[in-house]
Structure 1
């Protein structure tokens, strides 16, 4: 057993052959290093978890469940800042645009993805030699797939025509954008007519300009509150491909934080992206961190259940009785643990970390708490009142 860490059997598991009375909770959890997330509600001792400790945890993913007002935003902010302090890069997918000011305060970027925002991500950014098919092939496929998301299902002829146009564009233009591809398509074709609108004007500023978002910043928050309905799927695809490309570089630890996952999970592009990340991100020294206020919606579908149950670490906050019962069944909670979710106050969570089940009160270290209060308009005690 490592010094400073408490390793206890899972709740309800008898020790040896003795029919021990099920233990409802563990008392403390203190990994040797990691994220300070608060204090044990039983002992008051600091709770420190290191999601990247592969001797303890199957992956570095973290799932957070709690109804509105449970303290999820505060907890996500605490985790993000703790990871930054340990040298990781943090990307935040932010449907309600709640993390932008915090990102700026921490030396990162607030990227509002909306018409007229001035931000652009270029699907044709090439990360390698244009003459290397291992580099070019995936880039061509990404561009064709984005066009498919914009234009609707592509038939085989349209897909072949698009692929030829993308390859010709890479040969002819040093730093191509989507508008260069559209210019090579037959003007009367369905795809060319649809793309013409997306490579000009306000839409073109986002989809057909060189990338001007610094994806190497320590923290980047992507706000999506002002996205128009028709832009949702294309923006999700564009962002998913850009972030996945960064994660696969495996040059540093990265956290991808997804707030209100239940809202985003309705989009098929996000659903595929998140399921793939949950299964594969650990291979690239990364961590998927998500929060949702509707666990039942995730657990009701196969893809959602994969994502909900995949993390090695879970924080279960205040729940309504129906949602608490669903979590109890999915995560084999005791009656006492389920009841605790129904009566939990803001900032009180049940932490499931490997075999340990620990009631915690989330509290960021002082410097983090002051930033959260400043950037989110909170007072330090709000999380616990």
Structure 2
């Protein structure tokens, strides 16, 4: 027989490297067997046997064990009994119980309530089996506890036994049989302990589905999470919801909630804990909700719309040495002017604008040579002058339409060189002082300034800090086509630059009702849903694949309660904060520390 395509010829004198590789694949490096525990590789395990069960169980009675906050293998062996064997065993059991009852009655003893209940249950079960409504199974339930040290193992075993006792389950350690117990809990389908209990179909079915309300623990052989932050507590299991956005496929996130659901509180907690984790955070703040937080932690605040605060969209980043950097600035100005005008200009005006941008750069002495980029960049009014100089109908029309932002009432934001250069671990861009006509362009300018800092290749290296860009009330940009397109490009490109984009909005329709909004959601590995309005719940349930129960939870969720979704993982949580975090998140910084 020829060798299989994937087989590898073996040699009797295989070297130490081959033997080590085989051992690494086949199992741990070594096992130390003791009466009460096993040392498996670098960790310790202990196996518990469930020897006693309650008379009655409710639905999902294994959930407390499955949701235990630690590494615990819950293994169930189920072997069906043939109807003939089941009937014979029931007859013997009923005869034994009936003889006990008659012996007590003959001797004048009081009846044993437990024996009476057992006899009645046996009679009822025999009737269901005879009618084909139920079957009997031999069931073995074993618990394998894992820990990194012996002290941790003793504590974990005690905790697991206490959890089992709360379910009226009696457990016994597999003393002197720990090796058999450990192999029994491996996926080998071999029960080396053989301690079984007969159960009927209903008792087994009530243990399923074998699912946990908490996030899954790392698989055996995989290291635990070294990063992440506390999102809150799981109301269903009282477990901890610990999540690391940077360990996912991308660090993007979306937070959807109705007004008053606690989304700003949750995002402020996320920002605070990200800062503690060394992440650099930039926040687009339309309502001045983050200014006091930034002041408290030593962050910087840039108030767009205030006197003397200007941003020049034609600035080329000083550290960007790419030959196409000037072209990127020109393309962004096309996007900005489309947002200013509320729509994309016609082709003739776009052609005139492109020529005017290049003429403005040439007049300022800035070419495609990076050595010229240190010169002062042209302004938006210089582009308008270049449009007028073309003396064409399309250029004159576009220059006239740009008048409010070049020489008119809205010129203050663009009328001069950039006055503020963002720096620091937390930068808050406030757009509250901007007029409504400038709110979307202001957010776009802020995002562009943030992106220029993230995208500068001169500072991108292994030591580059992780950056989180938070866009609060993102509906302001999403309702505009060009703004939504810019946001979707950020969502796609952030991962390659060690950055994450967090989009927060209460206007769910603007996010879910457009293709670009769907792109933002599709590129967010972390999705957080807080309380939703009844008018939007059907759309949200369809987009996120919510069950009817999850939809009801979101309709009745309290403030700060929500659902964390990431791929196939989903878990409910209640945001929790320390007293100091709470004071920072609600903006009350005057409360004494001892209160």
**TM bin (shorter chain):** 0.7 to 0.9
Structure 2 partner of 1:261: 474
The worse-fitting range, judged by mean Cα deviation, of 274-283 and 146-155 is: 146-155
Structure 1 partner of 2:575: 362
* From 31, 39, 62, the counterpart of 2:253: 62
**Given that residues 24 and 336 in structure 1 are in contact (C-alpha distance below 8 angstroms), is that contact kept between their aligned partners in structure 2?**
no
Residue 244 of structure 1 deviates from its aligned partner by 1.9
1:307 aligns with 2:508: no
CA shift in 2, pair 1:167/1:142, >3 Å: farther
* From 486, 491, 494, the counterpart of 1:273: 486
1:161 aligns with 2:351: no
Structure 1 partner of 2:377: 176
* Residues 63-97 of structure 1: per-residue CA shift (max 9 Å, x gap): 11221111100011011111111111111122223
Residue 273 of structure 1 deviates from its aligned partner by 1.5
CA shift in 2, pair 1:48/1:365, >3 Å: farther
Give the Cα–Cα distance (whole angstroms) in 1 for the partners of residues 543 and 209 of structure 2.
Answer: 18
Residue 121 of structure 1 deviates from its aligned partner by 1.3
The worse-fitting range, judged by mean Cα deviation, of 104-113 and 338-347 is: 104-113
**Given that residues 36 and 365 in structure 1 are in contact (C-alpha distance below 8 angstroms), is that contact kept between their aligned partners in structure 2?**
no
Structure 1 partner of 2:508: 295
1:125 aligns with 2:332: no
Structure 2 partner of 1:13: none
Residue 280 of structure 1 deviates from its aligned partner by 1.8
* Residues 91-112 of structure 1: per-residue CA shift (max 9 Å, x gap): 1122223222222222222322
Normalising by structure 1, we get a TM-score of 0.81
After TM superposition, the structure 1 = structure 2 runs for residues 58-97 of structure 1, keeping only pairs within 5 Å, are 58-97=249-288
Q: Give the SS at the match of 2:563.
A: strand
**Given that residues 214 and 237 in structure 2 are in contact (C-alpha distance below 8 angstroms), is that contact kept between their aligned partners in structure 1?**
yes
**Given that residues 64 and 72 in structure 1 are in contact (C-alpha distance below 8 angstroms), is that contact kept between their aligned partners in structure 2?**
yes
After TM superposition, the structure 1 = structure 2 runs for residues 206-355 of structure 1, keeping only pairs within 5 Å, are 206-249=413-456, 250=460, 251-355=464-568
**Given that residues 479 and 510 in structure 2 are in contact (C-alpha distance below 8 angstroms), is that contact kept between their aligned partners in structure 1?**
no
Give the number of aligned pairs: 365
Structure 1 partner of 2:292: 101
Give the Cα–Cα distance (whole angstroms) in 2 for the partners of residues 67 and 106 of structure 1.
Answer: 28
CA shift in 2, pair 1:130/1:327, >3 Å: closer
Give the Cα–Cα distance (whole angstroms) in 1 for the partners of residues 250 and 331 of structure 2.
Answer: 29
Q: Which structure has the higher relative contact order (CA within 8 Å, separation 6+)?
A: 1
Residue 23 of structure 1 deviates from its aligned partner by 6.7
* From 224, 227, 238, the counterpart of 1:33: 227
**Given that residues 235 and 573 in structure 2 are in contact (C-alpha distance below 8 angstroms), is that contact kept between their aligned partners in structure 1?**
yes
CA shift in 2, pair 1:26/1:147, >3 Å: same
**Given that residues 356 and 386 in structure 2 are in contact (C-alpha distance below 8 angstroms), is that contact kept between their aligned partners in structure 1?**
no
Give the Cα–Cα distance (whole angstroms) in 2 for the partners of residues 318 and 335 of structure 1.
Answer: 15
CA shift in 2, pair 1:35/1:198, >3 Å: same
Residue 122 of structure 1 deviates from its aligned partner by 1.6
Q: Give the SS at the match of 1:174.
A: coil
Residue 45 of structure 1 deviates from its aligned partner by 3.7
Normalising by structure 2, we get a TM-score of 0.55
CA RMSD of aligned residues (A): 3.5
* Residues 148-206 of structure 1: per-residue CA shift (max 9 Å, x gap): 55467224234323322223224399213404444555466445555565345774432
Residue 369 of structure 1 deviates from its aligned partner by 2.0
Q: Give the SS at the match of 1:338.
A: helix
Q: Give the SS at the match of 1:91.
A: strand
Residue 5 of structure 1 deviates from its aligned partner by 8.2
CA shift in 2, pair 1:176/1:182, >3 Å: farther
**Given that residues 24 and 334 in structure 1 are in contact (C-alpha distance below 8 angstroms), is that contact kept between their aligned partners in structure 2?**
no
CA shift in 2, pair 1:131/1:339, >3 Å: closer
Structure 1 partner of 2:405: 198
CA shift in 2, pair 1:148/1:102, >3 Å: same
CA shift in 2, pair 1:182/1:333, >3 Å: closer
1:137 aligns with 2:331: no
1:47 aligns with 2:260: no
**Given that residues 237 and 269 in structure 1 are in contact (C-alpha distance below 8 angstroms), is that contact kept between their aligned partners in structure 2?**
no
The worse-fitting range, judged by mean Cα deviation, of 135-144 and 264-273 is: 135-144
Residue 207 of structure 1 deviates from its aligned partner by 0.8
CA shift in 2, pair 1:283/1:246, >3 Å: same
Residue 297 of structure 1 deviates from its aligned partner by 3.9
**Given that residues 356 and 384 in structure 2 are in contact (C-alpha distance below 8 angstroms), is that contact kept between their aligned partners in structure 1?**
no
CA shift in 2, pair 1:119/1:21, >3 Å: farther
* Residues 265-313 of structure 1: per-residue CA shift (max 9 Å, x gap): 1122320121112222111111111222233442222222222343211
Give the Cα–Cα distance (whole angstroms) in 1 for the partners of residues 553 and 351 of structure 2.
Answer: 55
Give the number of the structure whose alpha-carbon radius of gyration is greater.
2
Residue 321 of structure 1 deviates from its aligned partner by 3.0
- Identify unmatched segments of 5+ residues in structure 2: 1-42, 44-68, 74-186, 188-204, 218-224, 367-371
